[in-house]
Structure 1
Amino acid sequence: MELADQIILFVIALIANLFSAFSGGGAGLIQLPVLIFLGLPFAIALATHKVASVALGIGATIRHLREGGLEPRFALIMLLAGLPGVLVGANLILRVEDRLAEIALGLLTIGLGLYSVLRPQLGLQLEARHRSGSGPLLGGLGLFLIGVLNGSLTSGTGLFVTLWLVGWFGLDYRRAVALTLVLVGVFWNGAGALTLGLLSTIHWAWLPALILGSLIGGYLGAHLSIVKGNRWIKRVYEVITILVGLQLILKGG
């Protein structure tokens, strides 16, 4: 691959993952279409993107661990409930091609952004809820279903996890984004990448530039989310969700 193409991949990965680490998802909005545009078939592009996305999680994890605030209880729920869903979804995507699902997902993603816009105080303060009784179980079921989407679809599912943690469990945006980046970025995407790598093919020649851009972008985006705080994260989250939703709809059309 030409050096110019490697530089393009690095810059795209840096930009996409910086915004993703700031808002809690959406790197695939930019990164995956570029891989396809540069000539990779969809399945190979998706597997390659998933591997690079793990670097996003690692970069963000390094920064968030320095800051603290990752709650072990939610980390455990996200692993136990989400990982089985990811494995189910990754096995489904290579067998099913249904653009109506992408259009529906796009509309739902836009709905997430509008929901946040219409609730000005959502996610600005920690408001603990659904922490006992059937609350964690239902919360885990929601994470399992989002895990299926994460394993089977291309972009935006981290945004679902972020809003689910905010809306159901009452986390503020900063805590929710930190958990999403660490658990979804490293573990969910890692499981999806491994499954897709076994079932499909990974384009290894492009990964050095993608991983480096994702690693640096993840760290810088996590740093910005910590420095700027909940109100900035909320605004960027709303913009990214609407853009991801539009991208899914236009791609599905």
Structure 2
Amino acid sequence: MFEQLLLFAISLLANIFSAFAGGGAGLIQLPALIFLGLPFAVSLATHKIASVALGVGATIRHAREDALERRFALFMLAAGLPGVVLGASLILHVSDRAAEIALGILTTALGLYSWLKSGLGLHHVPGNRDARGFVIGGVTLFLIGVLNGSLTSGTGLFVTLWLVRWFGLDYRRAVAYTLILVGMFWNGLGALTLGLLGEIRWDWLPALLLGSLLGGYLGAHLAIVKGNRWIKRVYEVITLLIGIKLIVG
């Protein structure tokens, strides 16, 4: 019972922050599963499944705001899902330490970039919606999908900032896309791939799923209520923390 309560508390906290900032649940949840004794690959697959509930919880809240464009959402799925499968297939066969360090440096850079660009993501100004923009945007989402399938810590934050920087979304809309599409569909497909190729700790999932579901809803509610400026600040804090954590190990 104590173990289940601990898993629920970890999952709830991690997913509240993730749903508010547009990613980053892996900062707390994945290392915690490893610390509790699971091998990396098992922790990753178990965390991926739990993260799907984050997307469900966030979707329940964001659906009331009608924040998504259907065609743009389908574009994100088409661009990112193949990368997720590729990344999830590769991670079971390669060492992850060097990739974690590189990912940590890049994640830290994302936070610093957002902090230095004081007006970034505060207003919704759609851009790069021509053929060239979609090609560059799609290739980048594919590459982020590869990272999402392999190294789960903070890759949703990459999607959030890319939607803000390249496609001109404000932070609130970008977070909604990330939580719903990355949380449910990217993570769901990644979990399925890892589950078929690897192993999952099924008896830990009920507590993790409940924490993710509630955390996703509460975090999404906070993001909607607080608005873009608060999301931007939390995003910057989370990216810096994740970057440092990945670099230090």
Instruction: Name the TM-score class by shorter chain.
Output: over 0.9
Write out aligned runs for 1:137-156 (5 A). 137-156=135-154
Aligned equivalent of 1:134, options 128, 132, 145: 132
One-letter amino acid of the structure 1 residue matched with residue 82 of structure 2? P
Aligned equivalent of 1:174, options 172, 175, 188: 172
1:220 aligns with 2:192: no
1:44 aligns with 2:42: yes
1:94 aligns with 2:58: no
1:116 aligns with 2:114: yes
Cα deviation 1:19-74 (Å, max 9, x = unaligned): 00000000000001111111111111110000000000000000000111111122
1:60 aligns with 2:66: no
* Consecutive unaligned residues in structure 2, runs of 5 or more: none
Residue 195 of structure 2 corresponds to: 197
- Residue aligned with 2:131, SS: coil
Question: 1:247, 1:208 → 2: CA distance?
Answer: 27
One-letter amino acid of the structure 2 residue matched with residue 63 of structure 1? R
Question: 1:41, 1:78 → 2: CA distance?
Answer: 31
- Matched pairs, number: 249
Residue 206 of structure 1 corresponds to: 204
TM (norm. structure 1) is: 0.97
One-letter amino acid of the structure 2 residue matched with residue 114 of structure 1? L
Question: 2:64, 2:206 → 1: CA distance?
Answer: 25
Shift of 1:247: 0.8
Question: 2:152, 2:124 → 1: CA distance?
Answer: 30
Shift of 1:154: 2.6
Question: 2:231, 2:75 → 1: CA distance?
Answer: 23
Shift of 1:101: 1.4
Aligned in 2, Cα 1:98/1:49: closer, same or farther, shift over 3 Å?
Answer: closer
Shift of 1:98: 3.7
TM (norm. structure 2) is: 0.99
* Consecutive unaligned residues in structure 1, runs of 5 or more: none
Question: 2:133, 2:94 → 1: CA distance?
Answer: 32
Cα deviation 1:79-121 (Å, max 9, x = unaligned): 0000000000000000000412111110100000000000000
- Residue aligned with 2:28, SS: helix
Question: 1:208, 1:215 → 2: CA distance?
Answer: 11
Cα deviation 1:108-161 (Å, max 9, x = unaligned): 000000000000000000111101131111101110000000001131100000
Residue 18 of structure 2 corresponds to: 20
Task: Compare 71-80 and 219-228 and name the one that shifted more.
Answer: 71-80
Runs of 4+ deviating beyond 4 Å: none
Question: 2:148, 2:139 → 1: CA distance?
Answer: 14
